[in-house]
Amino acid sequence: MPIEMAIWRITPNGPKPLDSSRLGLESTLEDMIVEDTKLLGSDLLVVGRQVETAFGGFLDLLCIDADGRLHALELKRDKTPRDVVAQVLDYGSWVSDLTVEDLQDITLRYNSGKTLDNLFAEHFGEALPDVINIEQRFTIVASELDTTSERLVQFLAETYAVPINAVFFRHFGDGESSYLGRTWLIDPIVAESSTLRPVRGKVRPWNGRDYYVIQGTTVKEGIDRWSIASDYGFLSAGGGTWYSKPLRNLKTGNRVFAYVGGAGYVGVGEVMGEAEPAADAKVVVNGVDQPLIDQPGIPDAFKHRALSNELDEREVVVPVRWLAKRSVTDAIRIAGLFTSQVTVCKLRDERTIEVLEEEFQVK
């Protein structure tokens, strides 16, 4: 039986069902999903829209998630029920063979020349995984499917572990208020576990603790970030959300490895609190809390950004307790250690972690 959705308004006279309708919903769903992919219950980066495939068709939406898994989204629109199932499988077979270079080309073409690395870092606050597109998800987006199509999707997913699912949206009206309802054909958690299968590679795992953090470069730009971090125990970033937003991914208890561009790794520490505006940060001097920006050695450029009227430009800091640290001239610079241009990203490289633990003499 096709899935039905309903919403009731609770009244003194009992529950009253709200009117539901399509109202051309499938023609506007694509715009709504592009605006906020969390409508699908997942945070996705839209790589391309109406992407031309090697077979001549056009995939409605090609997305990538934080783990580097690709998502092919196809809206039912006016397609016949069986056609949309066949089409999402056809497009899915094309998506499964996309290389990193293919994705880079698609991203440049559909995002005004922006690179996949930069878009991914801006959206998720971390670097693009070393290996991507090991797994895929194929999703039909519709207001309804017929019984046969639902049975086909469930058969493929549950019997042959095809990573396919269908998500349904319905529009509900209640006077001047308007609502959008969503449900899945297969519970996403169940679908996730049921489609685990041998893959051609493996995304490098993360230990859930370690981060790589850039603290300036050896090129002078008016702010010696490592001196501020080393002297006062605050990681910092500013001058734009590209730099400051990733700091907000750090949580209390995370371990951070600080890196100075052009020099190497200079410190390892434990995060002691959440990100906050530099203008609000306090340090304890002689038992008294004092503003960080008023301390000796804080450069004027840092103070200016901390107090800037431009919210996106302001300095952001994260408190850290250093377990070990070095001067820039004594930085650890060994061939093959992980580096990235992203201010903060998960440190997945096991060799880098092992080498730095040995060099800093921490475990």
Q: What tens digit of pLDDT does each residue of 188-222 get?
A: 876 665 554 444 444 567 899 999 999 988 666 66
Residues 173 and 222 in one domain: no
pTM: 0.59
- Non-local CB neighbours of 62 within 8 Å, separated by 6+ positions: 46, 47, 48, 49, 51, 70, 71, 72, 73, 95, 106
Domain boundary among 194, 218, 250: 194
pLDDT of residue 145: 77
Residues 219 and 186 in one domain: no
- Non-local CB neighbours of 136 within 8 Å, separated by 6+ positions: 69, 70, 71, 72, 92, 95, 96, 163
321, 272 Cβ separation under 8 angstroms: yes
Residues 270 and 348 in one domain: yes
Q: Report percent pLDDT > 90 for the chain.
A: 49
pLDDT of residue 27: 63
Q: Decide if pLDDT at 81 tops 70.
A: no
Residue range of the domain that includes 45: 8-194
Strands (E), 157-223: 164-174, 177-184, 210-217
Between 235 and 202, the higher pLDDT residue: 235
Residue 45 backbone phi and psi in degrees, to 5: -100, 125
For residue range 341-357, what is the model confidence (pLDDT) as tens digits? 788 988 988 889 999 99
Average pLDDT estimate for 21-27: 60
Any domain includes 261: yes
Q: Which residues partner with 288 through β-bridges?
A: 285
HSE (CB half, 13 Å, CA atoms) of 325? 20
Report the b/e string of 104-134 with b at 16+ CB within 10 A. eebbeebbeeeebeebbbebbbbbbbeebbb
308, 297 Cβ separation under 8 angstroms: no
Q: Decide if pLDDT at 295 tops 60.
A: yes
CA distance 164 to 89: 8
For residue range 84-135, what is the model confidence (pLDDT) as tens digits? 899 999 999 999 999 888 999 999 999 998 888 888 888 887 778 777 888 8
Residues 311 and 186 in one domain: no
CATH number at residue 279: 3.10.590
- What's the DSSP call for residue 334? -
The Cα angle at residue 290 between residues 284 and 291, in degrees rounded to 5: 120
Residues 184 and 233 in one domain: no
- Non-local CB neighbours of 346 within 8 Å, separated by 6+ positions: 126, 127, 206, 210, 211, 212
For residue range 297-333, what is the model confidence (pLDDT) as tens digits? 899 999 999 999 888 889 999 999 999 999 999 999 9
